[in-house]
Structure 1
Amino acid sequence: MKVLMFGWEFPPKIYGGLAVASYGITKGLSLQGDVETTFCMPKPCGDEEKFLKIINMSQVPVAWRDVQYDNIKNRFVGHTAEDYYRFRDHIYADFNYMQGLDDMGCMGFAGGYPGNLHDEINNFSIIAGVLARSEQFDLIHAHDWLTFPAGVHAKMVSGKPLCIHVHATDFDRSRGKVNPTVYSIEKNGMDHADCIMCVSELTRQTVINQYHQDPRKCVAMHNAVYPLSEEYRNIVPKKIPNEKVVTYLGRITMQKGPEYFIEAAKLVLQRTQNVRFCFAGSGDMMNAMIELAARYGIADKCHFPGFQRGRQVYECYKNSDVFVMPSVSEPFGIAPLEAMQCGCPSIISKQSGCGEILTNVLKVDYWDIHAMADAIYSLCTNEGFHKYIAEEGLKEVDQITWEKVGWRIRQCYDQLLAKGWFDNEEYLRNYIK
């Protein structure tokens, strides 16, 4: 089975959870043994793992150029010069009017989330038309709203089934203050999709109720975690004597509810001074949170180390006694699973999708700062309780693997290609919940 997959992020360049999920899903699919994934992204760095084919959308031509092989053969990151010439044969319109074309007739991408993001999304979808004409594939899989237009275009060109993967909706990102442009892109992708994979039942219900999608084509497809590498397993924790560390790790932005973490921290510090609070991450609310901590007189107990990546993330988990994810709306949330892998008990909001598959965590409403403070205080002061949650959580998360997710996605692909999606009673019974 050959899958043409569109994504915006992929490790080692990680801007958020989308890169982590894209890696996990493609790795899980590769472990099925008979799935070949071609992953198309705006601007790979060249250090991506080689278990799948990467197509660099910055080096797919949309305008014909007479270039010599010897002059370009060493310029490619991702696909090859041979691929370039094959793509060039499938340019379907005259795009010479477009701004920013290089000497190979390609449109460059900044990578990440630049100020002209909507222009890049549109350019990405134009290039998808070239790939849909030149690649051999059985179905299309598009991740998140940024690549939905590319997925729709590829479907229109090829007639192949389209699966879209909803990692979050604008209802999650905006606390309900939806951007109408983003909403229209999301809804158009969903309307054209043959299958909509949602990272949780929480997200599935949003897709059904807010985007008016047929429940029969919407599937809850929870995320997972990779096993810890030996490097990360061997990290030696650096604990502070006689003090506990409570950590928030993620974007410091409205969706993640950082202000509730500050409020809970204030309540905990009224009961004990032997706790420090770590805000690991960056975001548009970071300065506001620093000011709020100062206003509450707890700035000396709050630390803001900034954005963490790679080994830093796991050092942060290992050095923490409690992890808290107070998200207002979290479609899934991989961070608590990563913390649990490191033996760090997690407290999550009841508004988090990962809570649907996790038992050995503490769950509170994001707005209930007293319950959150009680949970933090209990884990920081009751050693027996802390040990139990840490040990049972580790056992639980070890069973949540990307290989299992890959198997489930493969089952969905099979149903999609069999064209019996809505009529297969066994499928509806086992997978649509």
Structure 2
Amino acid sequence: MKVLMFGWEFPPHISGGLGTACYGLVKGLVHHKQDIIFVVPKLWGDEEPLADFVNASGITIDYRERRFKEIWKSLTYLEVSSFLVPYLGPEEFSRYTEHAMSEGAEVDESVFSSKFEFSGKYGKDLMKEVSRYALVAAQIAKDKEHDVIHAHDWLAYPAGVAAKRISGKPLVAHIHATEYDRSGESVNRAVFDIEREGMMAADHVVAVSHLTRKVVIEKYGIPADKVSVLHNAVLDASIIESSVKKKVPEKIVTFLGRITFQKGPEYFVEAAKKVLDRDPNVRFVMAGSGDLLNRMIERVAELGMGTRFHFTGFLKGQDVDDMYAMSDVYVMPSVSEPFGIAPLEAVRHNTPVIISKQSGVAEVLQNAIKVDFWDVDAMADAMFGLLHYESISKMFKELGSEELKKLKWEHVAEKLVKVYDTLHQNHTAS
């Protein structure tokens, strides 16, 4: 099977779990002898050669062809003035201007330059790049032979839809996070519309958890028989033996993720206060960045926890591994988490985890303590128990490491290949 796949990032140049998931999935598909054409807005040259990578910045568009003009007229692009990544919340999406490109509208000729240079980042021109990426996708779909199209998340949905319009091949829309996960009920309608239109146009929708599938069906009105679940996995199930040593005698409880509404950082702070009231000899770390960072710093100061609470800022690479290794407990108190790979990485570092019941990973990680994100008393009790009862901590470490062995991308890819085969057979028969 030849798969034309559209993403927005690929390791080692990633900003979150989306790129990591794309890497794992491609690796699993290659294991099952699938031929992958992976398109990204910008190639950096150091990507692992797993697929036939296509640099969207290097594609020349024959935009004056009638079909390309029709695709452009159906697109809407936004001028976004704030820093964005595809997971962020309402404050990041709050400052924008919407420009609907109608059939009679006069368009700046520079928009239709024959070749676009994409930044490959999540800056102020992100949504304009999303629209241009769709035009490039149409050209690629015209030029590249393929059997099925696969688009990852809302940034790539317009590209997937445009490719389908040109080639007529079946489209898989892979939903890693929804606008409801990022923003709660205060959704950005423009992003919601892109998500819904992409999923409605798709021949099949893949959700990363049953939690996400439920949202897709109930909030977006996607037919239930069109949506299946493929949980994420880990690239390597082996336990990481780290030589890093923490520089403090106290035990460490860590929150590592984006400091946004979706991740529930405020519940972590409130639970930390309850633990410190019982045992002041514990240190808490909040590693990451996001729109709620300043508010969390202020709340920690209000609660008088400044000497026991540390903010590291955004971590990447080896620093992330070292943080997991130094931690005695990892907590993911997400309000709405489509999946959540971070707890699996914590388990790989032999760190026991506490996760919210409102996360997709809770569906596959059985040997973890699960609490409702809003129940700070239960969260604090779980932290205290893992910190003070070694037998409980040891049990979760041992059982968690065994459980990882079942969560392989090869297993996920095997199920996805069956989806591809069904779509291809139906398309061929029609």
TM range (shorter): 0.7 to 0.9
Partner of 2:20: 20
Letter in 1 for 2:45: G
Conservation of the 8 A alpha-carbon contact between 1:250 and 1:281: yes
Partner of 2:320: 313
Letter in 2 for 1:17: G
Partner of 1:183: 192
Q: How far apart, CA to CA, are the structure 2 residues paired with 1:165 and 1:297? A: 44
Q: How far apart, CA to CA, are the structure 2 residues paired with 1:24 and 1:98? A: 39
Q: How far apart, CA to CA, are the structure 2 residues paired with 1:305 and 1:398? A: 31
Conservation of the 8 A alpha-carbon contact between 2:237 and 2:408: no
Q: How far apart, CA to CA, are the structure 1 residues paired with 2:384 and 2:351? A: 15
1:136 maps onto 2:135 in alignment = no
Query: Is there any run of 5+ residues in structure 1 with no aligned partner, and where?
Result: 65-87, 422-433
Q: How does 1:52-91 map to 2 (within 5 A)?
A: 52-62=51-61
Partner of 2:244: 237
Q: How does 1:13-412 map to 2 (within 5 A)?
A: 13-33=13-33, 35-62=34-61, 98-99=109-110, 105-227=114-236, 233-240=240-247, 242-412=249-419
Partner of 2:79: none
Conservation of the 8 A alpha-carbon contact between 2:169 and 2:427: no
| Cα shift at 1:240 | 4.8
Q: Can you list the C-alpha shifts for 1:355-389, whole angstroms capped at 9, x where unaligned?
A: 01111000000000000000000000000110110
Conservation of the 8 A alpha-carbon contact between 1:63 and 1:91: no
Conservation of the 8 A alpha-carbon contact between 1:350 and 1:364: yes
3-state DSSP of counterpart to 1:395: helix
| Cα shift at 1:100 | 6.5
3-state DSSP of counterpart to 2:124: coil
Q: How far apart, CA to CA, are the structure 1 residues paired with 2:282 and 2:112? A: 55
Q: How far apart, CA to CA, are the structure 1 residues paired with 2:67 and 2:55? A: 16
Q: How far apart, CA to CA, are the structure 1 residues paired with 2:68 and 2:161? A: 16
Letter in 1 for 2:328: D
Letter in 2 for 1:317: Y
| Cα shift at 1:89 | 12
Letter in 2 for 1:9: E
Q: How far apart, CA to CA, are the structure 1 residues paired with 2:398 and 2:247? A: 21
Letter in 1 for 2:37: T
Letter in 1 for 2:379: M
Q: How far apart, CA to CA, are the structure 1 residues paired with 2:149 and 2:136? A: 15
Q: How far apart, CA to CA, are the structure 2 residues paired with 1:409 and 1:283? A: 33
3-state DSSP of counterpart to 2:278: coil
| Cα shift at 1:217 | 1.0
Conservation of the 8 A alpha-carbon contact between 2:256 and 2:287: yes
3-state DSSP of counterpart to 2:407: coil
Query: Is there any run of 5+ residues in structure 2 with no aligned partner, and where?
Result: 73-106
| Cα shift at 1:336 | 0.3
Q: Can you list the C-alpha shifts for 1:318-377, whole angstroms capped at 9, x where unaligned?
A: 111100000000000000001001100110001001101111000000000000000000
Letter in 2 for 1:368: D
| Cα shift at 1:97 | 5.4
| Cα shift at 1:241 | 5.7
3-state DSSP of counterpart to 1:330: coil
CA RMSD between the two structures: 2.2
Letter in 2 for 1:255: Q
Q: How far apart, CA to CA, are the structure 2 residues paired with 1:52 and 1:360? A: 35
Q: Can you list the C-alpha shifts for 1:183-213, whole angstroms capped at 9, x where unaligned?
A: 1111111111111000000000100111111
3-state DSSP of counterpart to 1:124: helix
| Cα shift at 1:62 | 1.8
3-state DSSP of counterpart to 1:252: coil
Conservation of the 8 A alpha-carbon contact between 2:324 and 2:330: yes
Conservation of the 8 A alpha-carbon contact between 1:341 and 1:398: no
Conservation of the 8 A alpha-carbon contact between 1:249 and 1:281: yes
Q: Can you list the C-alpha shifts for 1:219-272, whole angstroms capped at 9, x where unaligned?
A: 01100011168xx93421313564111111110111100000000000000000
Conservation of the 8 A alpha-carbon contact between 1:100 and 1:108: no
| Cα shift at 1:43 | 1.2
Letter in 2 for 1:45: W
Letter in 2 for 1:118: M
3-state DSSP of counterpart to 1:15: coil
Conservation of the 8 A alpha-carbon contact between 2:268 and 2:333: yes
Find runs of 4+ consecutive structure 1 residues off by over 3 angstroms. 88-98, 239-242
The alignment-based identity, stated in percent, is 48
Conservation of the 8 A alpha-carbon contact between 2:350 and 2:401: yes
Greater alpha carbon shift after TM alignment, 238-247 vs 157-166: 238-247
399 and 176 in structure 1: CA distance in 2 versus 1, 3 angstrom threshold: same
TM-score by length of 1: 0.87
